[in-house]
Structure 1
Amino acid sequence: MTDLERKIYRIIYNMSRFRKNPTIEELKIKTGKDETSIRKAVKNLISRKELEWDKEKKEWRFYV
């Protein structure tokens, strides 16, 4: 897991504990990265089964 992936994972995990899903804009502010980098990191986390989006509940699932 890269530093950016780890940072995004922690942000999503911590925010989702309070039933709030971070937006791309919030992730851009908190990481200091551009949208393309953030989307790529989230896709990598999903492809490695470390994160999963539950469409029915509209929340993240964590596996690490």
Structure 2
Amino acid sequence: MTDLERKIYRILYNMSRFRKNPSMEELKRKTGKDEASIRKAVKNLMSRNELEWDKEKQEWRFK
């Protein structure tokens, strides 16, 4: 897991504990990265099954 992936994972995990999904703007502000880098990191996490989006509950699931 890269540093950016780890950072995004921790942000999503911590915010999901309070039932809040961060917006792209919040992720950009908290990571200091652009949208393309963030999307790529999230896709990498999802492809390795470390992160999953639950469409019914509209929340992240963590492995």
Does the alignment reach a TM-score above 0.5? yes
Superposition misfits of 4+ residues, deviation over 2 angstroms: none
- Aligned amino acid, residue 35 of structure 1: E
Q: Distance in 2 between matches of 1:40 and 1:24?
A: 13
Q: Which residue of 1 aligns with 2:22?
A: 22
Q: Distance in 1 between matches of 2:61 and 2:18?
A: 14
Task: Give the aligned CA root-mean-square deviation in angstroms.
Answer: 0.3
Q: Secondary structure at the match of 1:12?
A: helix
Q: Secondary structure at the match of 2:7?
A: helix
- Aligned amino acid, residue 7 of structure 2: K
Q: Distance in 2 between matches of 1:25 and 1:9?
A: 16
TM-score normalised per structure 1:
0.98
Q: Which residue of 1 aligns with 2:37?
A: 37
Q: How many residues align?
A: 63
> Identity, % of aligned pairs?
86
TM-score normalised per structure 2:
0.99
Gaps of 5+ in 1: none
Q: Secondary structure at the match of 2:60?
A: strand
Q: Distance in 1 between matches of 2:22 and 2:42?
A: 12
